[in-house]
């Protein structure tokens, strides 16, 4: 035994975990999630391929019918695709969290004198990498097809950041589902059932005016619509309108409801 495993613990025996340790543990767990992406890059398939596939499909199938031409449809569509891609990327948070927690390594995390919240918080931070990739690819695809946002590059970056922040807020819903459901498959299934109406019953792909009255009401209350409109305002006209603030308020409500719920369930399980 060369390294002399001493009988006395090298750790301070005090049982208190402060803010600094919580942050340090969270960053370590975020680093772990990054390493996992590095070793299994195939988990990025959704954020790499979905924006490419959906942009192409929607542009060429609906462009002519909805806006008369592809060029006219792109300013409407790209913000819609961006929101859809990024919200479905946030779904993966819940699925991967569930998968992770089923593995033996989680038992070790639970037995370490570390901040209980770190595995959850770390995973949510690293998801920004996924959202960043999804956002960049969506805008790049739009650019390739001829989308030229009138407000310019800085507004596009600002809109991208708003989308990423919103995805992070929405990911708390799916993280919560990940906590309360038993298997990764069931998380995937239920999340998808939430995701489909949430993104399609919005103004993401089709102008609201073409829908029947009851649907217009639903669409107007859907936070996804406000996010889409806010992004359109920013990228197309360089404006921060009421939808921007409504989006922030809506996202804040989601985080205020689901973050404490998730943390509570997580702490009880961990």
Partner 1 sequence: MKDSNQLDGLAIEANGLVKTFKDNKAVDGIDLRVEAGTIYGILGPNGAGKTTTINMLATLMKPDAGEAKIFGYDVFKQPQIVRSLIGVTGQYASVDENLTATENLVIFARLLGLSRSAAKAKAADLLEEFGLTEAASRPLAKFSGGMRRRLDLAASLIAQPPLIFLDEPTTGLDPRTRNQMWATIRRMVKTGSTILLTTQYLDEADQLADRIAVIDHGRVVAEDTPDNLKISIGKESLMIKLKNKDEASVAIRVMKEFLGITARMIADDSINAPLETPDQAADVLTNLRAKSISIVEINLQKPTLDEVFLTLTGEAA
CA distance 16 to 172: 27
212 part of the interface to partner 1, by CB under 8 A: no
Instruction: Tell me the closest approach of the beta carbon of residue 25 to partner 1, in angstroms.
Output: 6
Q: How far is the CB of 93 from partner 1 (least distance, A)?
A: 17
Give me the least distance between CB of 8 and partner 1, in Å please: 5
Query: In this complex, which beta carbon is closest to partner 1, that of residue 179 or of residue 224?
Result: 179
Backbone angles phi and psi of 114, in degrees to 5: -120, 170
- Report CA torsion sign: 37, 136, 222, 77: negative
DSSP 88-151: HHHHHHHHHHHHHHHSTHHHHHHHSSS-TTHHHHHHHHHHHHHHHHHHHHHHHHHHHHT---TT
Nearer of residues 115 and 159 to partner 1, judged by Cβ: 115
Name 231's Cβ contacts closer than 8 Å, sequence gap at least 6. 79, 82, 83, 159, 162, 163
Residue 10 interacts with partner 1 (CB under 8 A): yes or no = yes
Structure tokens at 197: 């109406």
Can you read off the two tokens belonging to residue 84? 């859809």
Query: Closest distance between partner 1 and the C-beta of residue 187, in Å?
Result: 19
Interaction between residue 154 and partner 1 (CB under 8 A): no
DSSP E strands, the chain: none
Chain residues 35-74 in contact with partner 1, contact rule CB under 8 A: 35-36, 39-40
Residue closer to partner 1, measured from CB, 57 or 105: 105
Is there binding between residue 32 and partner 1 (CB under 8 A)? yes
210 part of the interface to partner 1, by CB under 8 A: no
Question: Residue from 23, 31, 197, 237 that binds partner 1 (CB under 8 A)?
Answer: 31
* Tokens encoding 39: 């070793």
Dig out the tokens for 223 from the structure.
Answer: 């936070």
How many of the chain's residues bind partner 1 (CB under 8 A)?
40
**28 makes contact with partner 1 (CB under 8 A):** yes
CB of 15 to partner 1, least distance (A): 4
Nearest residue (CB) to partner 1, 5 versus 210: 5
The conformation of residue 199, written as its DSSP 8-state character, comes to: H
Could you say whether residue 193 binds partner 1 (CB under 8 A)? no
Task: Provide, rounded to whole angstroms, the least separation between the CB of residue 9 and partner 1.
Answer: 5
Specify the residue, 35 or 144, whose C-beta has the smaller distance to partner 1: 35
Assign 237 to helix, strand or coil: helix
245: nearest Cα among 257, 221, 229, 256: 229
Residues 92-121 that bind partner 1 (CB under 8 A): 103-105, 107-114, 118
Whichever of 111 and 210 has its CB closer to partner 1, that residue is: 111
8 A C-beta contact, residue 112 and residue 15: no
Binding positions for partner 1, rule: CB under 8 A: 1-17, 21, 24-25, 28-29, 31-32, 35-36, 39-40, 103-105, 107-114, 118
């Amino acid at each position: 035994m060369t390294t002399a495993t001493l009988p006395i613990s090298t750790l301070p025996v005090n049982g208190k975990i402060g803010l600094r340790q919580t942050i340090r543990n969270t960053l370590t767990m975020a680093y772990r999630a990054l390493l996992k992406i590095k070793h299994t890059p195939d988990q990025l398939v959704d954020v790499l391929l979905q924006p490419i596939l959906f942009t192409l499909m929607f542009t060429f199938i609906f462009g002519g019918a909805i806006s008369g031409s592809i060029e006219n449809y792109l300013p409407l569509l790209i913000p819609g695709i961006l929101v859809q891609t990024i919200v479905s990327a946030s779904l993966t948070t819940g699925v991967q969290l569930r998968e992770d927690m089923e593995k033996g390594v989680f038992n070790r995390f639970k037995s370490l004198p570390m901040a209980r919240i770190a595995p959850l918080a770390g995973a949510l931070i690293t998801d920004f990498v996924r959202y960043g990739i999804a956002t960049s690819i969506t805008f790049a695809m739009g650019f390739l097809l001829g989308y030229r946002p009138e407000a310019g590059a800085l507004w596009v970056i600002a809109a991208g950041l708003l989308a990423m922040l919103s995805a992070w807020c929405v990911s708390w819903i799916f993280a919560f589902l990940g906590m309360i459901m038993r298997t990764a498959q069931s998380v995937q299934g239920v999340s998808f059932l939430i995701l489909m109406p949430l993104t399609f019953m919005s103004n993401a792909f089709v102008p609201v005016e073409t829908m029947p009255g009851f649907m217009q009401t639903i669409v107007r209350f859907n936070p996804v619509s406000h996010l889409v409109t806010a992004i359109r305002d920013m990228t197309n006209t360089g404006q921060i309108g009421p939808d921007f603030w409504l989006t922030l308020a809506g996202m804040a409500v989601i985080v205020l409801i689901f973050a404490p719920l998730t943390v509570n369930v997580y702490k009880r399980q961990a």
